[in-house]
Amino acid sequence: MKKKPPISERIVPAILLLCALVSVFTTIGIIGTLLLETIEFFKVVSVIEFFTGTKWAPLFKPQYFGILPLITGTLLIAFIASLVAVPIGLASAIYLSEYAPPKVRKTVKPILEILAGIPTIVYGFFALTLVTPLIRFFLPGTDFFNALSAGIVVGIMIIPMVASLSEDAMTAVPRSLREGALALGATKLETSLKVVVPAALSGIVASVVLSLSRAVGETMIVTLAAGATPKMAFNPLESIQTMTAYIVQISHGDAPFGTIEYLSLYAVGSTLFVMTLVMNMLAQYISRKYREEY
């Protein structure tokens, strides 16, 4: 007669399954909440007007619900952040992977990753009290609240993500590829840039896309440093408003519950959710499709 497994062996898998389903049900709850309120919003506001309009003024009369100014501001911040984070993060990853002695790597990498643990509100005050005055000193015509200051600090914030994930991808490249390149007469720099980086390109690109997704969803830095002026502005020295900053503004109680202004919060949130979801899916796709296996 076959012996029954202990009761713990039957209970533990069920508990683990429930734990795994928590994230699934949470995601479903988030999507459901956003979707229901967004549908109510689009019963009043045209979808075409929402995605093609160039004016965003839901709290004033007459009201405008064109989200393009918020999308433009969000992408401008992400673009500036990428100009800061990608070169510095990738250079840091190359140093840690190819040049740093083991002791230095074990010391520097944790210190670098400490940046990721700093609260974003601290970064926001850093942008407002240090970076912005420096920019205004060298560029006197800059608005006090501006996209450049916010973008630079968001870029600093995501440097650890770019550096850490890229370093992991480069460390995974077999040592034999490096030794082969060096044996053929390549320098250390040539080996790093022409052998290791291309071999780890899928992981590097995925880290950049994930980091930009984090930049798109950043809230406190842009709320404090970028301003609250929704407009189709491509000048980084001007005040702008991002989607997350608008969500914070409405969350402070600027719009009564249940009004069209309040429902616009969910429409903006849904748009932001879709943008970050697409970027995360793109990073996973790139990582899987172009991964080199040795």
Q: Are strands 64-65 and 56-57 parallel, antiparallel or unpaired?
A: antiparallel
Report if residue 294 sits inside a domain.
no
Q: What is the pLDDT of residues 237-279, one digit of tens each?
A: 899 999 998 888 887 766 777 788 888 889 999 999 998 888 8
Report if residue 54 sits inside a domain.
no
Instruction: Give the list of residues 6+ apart from residue 218 with CB closer than 8 angstroms, or none.
Output: 77, 120, 154, 157, 244
Instruction: Give the list of residues 6+ apart from residue 54 with CB closer than 8 angstroms, or none.
Output: 66, 68, 69, 232
Report if residue 23 sits inside a domain.
no
pLDDT on residue 151: 93
- pTM value is 0.87
Per-residue tokens: 150: 């916010």
Report if residue 48 sits inside a domain.
no
Report if residue 56 sits inside a domain.
no
Report if residue 101 sits inside a domain.
yes
Q: What is the CATH number of the domain that holds 193?
A: 1.10.3720.10
**Are 172 and 93 within 8 A, CB to CB?**
no
Q: Which residue has the higher pLDDT, 100 or 131?
A: 131
Name the nearest CA neighbour of 38 among 281, 199, 272, 279. Answer: 272
Give the residue numbers spanning the domain of 285. 65-289
Backbone angles phi, psi at 45, to 5 degrees: -105, 135
Q: What is the pLDDT of residues 173-223, one digit of tens each?
A: 888 888 888 888 888 888 888 888 888 888 888 889 888 888 998 888 998
pLDDT on residue 254: 66
Report if residue 10 sits inside a domain.
no
Q: Is the pLDDT of residue 118 over 90?
A: no
Q: How many domains does the chain have?
A: 1
Report if residue 40 sits inside a domain.
no
pLDDT on residue 113: 76
Residue 125: is it exposed, middle or buried by C-beta count within 10 angstroms (0-12/13-18/19+)?
A: middle
